[in-house]
Amino acid sequence: MATTTNFGWTTPDDTDLVKDGASAIRTLGSAIDTTMLDVRQIVQVVRATDAIQRTTTSTSYVDANLSVTITPVYSTSRLILVYTAYGQMNAGTTGDQRWSVIITDSSNTALSGAEGTQLGVSFGSTVTSVADAVNIWGYVEPGSTSALTYKVRFKSSNASNTAVLVNPNTTAQLYAIEVAA
């Protein structure tokens, strides 16, 4: 008689007869479904885009008007947040100038690892702007199956300079990727 177990269910010996094939297939399917939860996998991907140019001279973080809301399927899931855009800094003054981009939760708290200072440049008297790609990755363990919102915020290091997100003919993208854990 069947004594071997595989993934928590009993498997028949080579000489055993399968009396209820439909039941055996359901048992196998359930065992596979349960086992697959142990393997890390992408559960869902939510994406938001913005093609409107955003600018600020603020030295405090302001919303870039790009957010994504995700409702995790599992409370044990991890979320990977990815932001990609093309940005620019227009100089009103010379010297070392920077602008920063972060991903925050709904309380405007920056996510660990989801922050980056982009376009750190030293403007000389002949340079008036510089542009570059902005790519930021963040990671969070929300511990919840409630809807969660994440957004992009940015600022200039100097009120005389204009930080620009989403240059003409480009689109900013923010992804929330749920990974089962």
Name the band, by pLDDT with cuts 50, 70 and 90, for residue 34: low
Look up the CATH number of the domain holding residue 159.
2.60.120.760
Cα gap 128→162, rounded to integer Å: 11
Three-state DSSP at 132 gives strand
How large is the average pLDDT for residues 151-169?
Answer: 83
Question: Do 55 and 13 sit in the same domain of this protein?
Answer: no
Predicted confidence at residue 119, as pLDDT, reads 47
Chain segment 103-127, per-residue pLDDT in tens:
888 888 877 665 555 544 455 555 5
167 and 127, same domain (yes or no): yes
pTM: 0.70
State whether 81 and 143 are in the same domain. Answer: yes
User: In terms of domains, do 109 and 68 share one?
Assistant: yes
CA distance 140 to 5: 37
- Residue 157 and residue 135: Cα distance in Å, rounded? 19
**Structurally, how many domains does the chain consist of?**
2
* Same domain assignment for residues 30 and 94: no
Task: Work out the mean pLDDT of the chain and round it to a whole number.
Answer: 77
Amino acid 67: pLDDT: 93
Same domain, 70 and 103: yes
Burial of residue 74 (CB within 10 Å: 0-12, 13-18, 19+) is middle
Which domain, by its residues, includes 167? 42-179
- Predicted local distance difference test score (pLDDT) of residue 15: 63
| Alpha-helical segments (H) within 67-178 | none
31 and 50 in a single domain? The answer is no
Q: What is the pLDDT of residues 49-107, one digit of tens each?
A: 999 998 888 989 899 899 999 999 999 999 988 888 888 877 776 666 677 787 888 88
Q: pLDDT grade, residue 178 (50/70/90)?
A: very high
pLDDT at res. 33? 54
| 150 shares its domain with 97 | yes
Structure tokens at 1: 């008689």
